[in-house]
Amino acid sequence: MKALFCYDGPMYKDENGNYYDSILDDRMFERYFKVADKLKLVIRTRDTEASQAAKRMSRLSDPNITVCECPDLSSVTGLIAGTKAAKEILCREISEADLIFIRLPSVIGNLGVDLCRKQKKQYLIEVVGCPWDSYWNYSVKGKIVAPAAAQMMRSRVKKAPFVLYVTNRFLQSRYPTRGKSVSCSNVELMEMEESVLQRRLRKIESYTSDSVLTIGTAAGLDVPYKGQQFVIEAMGKLKKQGITQFRYSVIGGGTGDRLRRVAKANDVEDQVDIVGQLPHSEVFGWLDSIDIYAQPSRQEGLPRSVIEAMSRGIPCIGARTAGIPELLSDACIFSNGKNEIEEICACLLHMRDQETAKAMAKLNFREAKNYQRDLLAERRTRFFREYAGKV
């Protein structure tokens, strides 16, 4: 069977015609081959240099996966110039596909849903994020777009025959469906070894009152709603109180210039390390080097990076956003309101207590086991096969 995957992406294309990404890779796309022989991606692309892409991302190499480049519809100009061509591409590819997987939120995905309905084709929507949160927390212009974007997704998900949600509760409550649904995270951890937790506990036991603890966040560096600036502001507030035993290591794509300005404004430049993007193969080594993981996002689905941090036994703190409270203890959650900075400070200081940190390490490691690859793959494959059986 031929499957189609529709999503904004983007994927990155080098001068030799190879495609790359750090998440949309061969391993992630394996799930669709449980019900299909061939997979075509309708997705927007961005140019990149091969030498740089190879260092930061994985190359798409499966011969059964092909890429159909779609116009970039992520701006008003793009929508005006590219919608007609995008519709023609999607109309053709949808008509030729046996199975259609549409990832939302995405503009390409919205068009895909509409064309599937027009052609009376069965389709499956994967709900991986909240457009309201992403637009509302991005910019002033985003606040204008947010209500319409949320409503467009809400109406499409409601009418969808099959819907996979990456959260257990949050996205289901905001974007309910009348169709068949399943909760299944997009994160897939390999088998977890108990020795990882024991190493983490020994590390925590080595802390002294003078130890400098490293906080870490993995997220786009130039995306305001990822929230790293709030952690930096909290560190600035702690410094004014004479507390400087924290460093902040941030990884992710982007220049990081915005965060450098925030660090300078808060007088903590020497405490903030802008690492940049790492290949996924190096992320777990970086996680093992930090002491606290922070996810201060204003927009998420169920964050992969938090679950990966939990799988390394790292004490984690996070914002009361989307699926984050489904993962962490209430004591490790801070608000998105006016008291946010103070609450982040309190969470960080709380994690300096050895017994608290050890308790959180054990709790997180145990919770992360629910996201091991085999468990999720079985649930997802069963749902995919149910969908494929209706085609």
Q: Quick one: which H or E segment has residue 292? A: strand 292-295
Q: Strands (DSSP E) along 34-130, which ranges?
A: 38-43, 45-47, 58-59, 65-69, 99-104, 124-127
Region 250-270: mean pLDDT is: 96
**Cα 362 from Cα 150, distance rounded (Å):** 37
> Are 274 and 377 in the same domain?
no
Give the model confidence (pLDDT) of 278-318 as tens digits: 887 899 999 999 999 999 999 888 888 999 999 999 999 99
H helical segments located in the chain:
26-29, 50-56, 76-96, 107-118, 131-136, 140-159, 170-174, 194-205, 228-240, 257-265, 280-289, 304-311, 324-327, 340-350, 354-368, 373-388
Is the Cβ–Cβ distance between 227 and 343 less than 8 Å? no
**Cα 308 from Cα 218, distance rounded (Å):** 10
Give the model confidence (pLDDT) of 183-218 as tens digits: 998 887 878 899 999 999 999 999 999 999 999 999
> Are 89 and 172 in the same domain?
yes
Q: Strands (DSSP E) along 48-193, which ranges?
A: 58-59, 65-69, 99-104, 124-127, 162-165, 180-183
- CATH number for the domain spanning 307: value is 3.40.50.2000
- CATH number for the domain spanning 15: value is 3.40.50
Secondary structure (3-state) at 387 = helix
> Are 309 and 229 in the same domain?
yes
> Are 25 and 169 in the same domain?
yes
- Amino acid identity of residue 379, one-letter, is R
Give the model confidence (pLDDT) of 60-83 as tens digits: 999 999 999 999 998 888 889 999
Is the Cβ–Cβ distance between 231 and 345 less than 8 Å? no
> Are 206 and 339 in the same domain?
yes
Q: Which of 152, 156, 151, 92 is nearest to 124 (CA)?
A: 156
Is the Cβ–Cβ distance between 380 and 164 less than 8 Å? yes
Structure tokens at 112: 């895909």
In this prediction, residue 245 carries a pLDDT of: 97
> Are 15 and 143 in the same domain?
yes
215 to 194, 218, 287, 362: CA distances (angstroms)? 23, 11, 10, 18
**Cα 69 from Cα 110, distance rounded (Å):** 16
> Are 9 and 27 in the same domain?
yes
Is the Cβ–Cβ distance between 131 and 35 less than 8 Å? no
Is residue 375 scored above 90 in pLDDT? no
Helix, strand, coil percent content, the chain, rounded in steps of 5: 50, 20, 30
Is the Cβ–Cβ distance between 150 and 132 less than 8 Å? yes
Is residue 106 scored above 80 in pLDDT? yes
What pTM was computed for the model? Answer: 0.83
In this prediction, residue 234 carries a pLDDT of: 98
**Cα 338 from Cα 73, distance rounded (Å):** 35
**Cα 56 from Cα 72, distance rounded (Å):** 23
In this prediction, residue 258 carries a pLDDT of: 96
- Amino acid identity of residue 93, one-letter, is E
- Amino acid identity of residue 116, one-letter, is C
> Are 181 and 198 in the same domain?
no
φ/ψ of 69, rounded to 5, equals: -70, 135
Count of the separate structural domains present in the chain:
2
Average pLDDT, the chain: 94
Is the Cβ–Cβ distance between 253 and 221 less than 8 Å? yes
φ/ψ of 292, rounded to 5, equals: -135, 135
Q: How far is CA 380 from the centre of its chain?
A: 18
User: For residue 95, what are the contacts with CB-CB under 8 A and spacing of at least 6?
Assistant: 119, 121
> Are 133 and 166 in the same domain?
yes
Phi-psi region at 320: left, alpha or beta (left = phi > 0; alpha = psi -120 to 50): beta
> Are 172 and 221 in the same domain?
no
pLDDT category at 23 given cuts 50, 70, 90 is confident
> Are 228 and 377 in the same domain?
no
Give the model confidence (pLDDT) of 216-249 as tens digits: 999 999 989 899 999 999 999 999 999 999 999 9
pLDDT category at 336 given cuts 50, 70, 90 is confident
> Are 34 and 183 in the same domain?
yes
In this prediction, residue 164 carries a pLDDT of: 98
Residue 55 is part of which domain span?
Answer: 2-188+372-388
Give the model confidence (pLDDT) of 132-143 as tens digits: 988 887 777 888
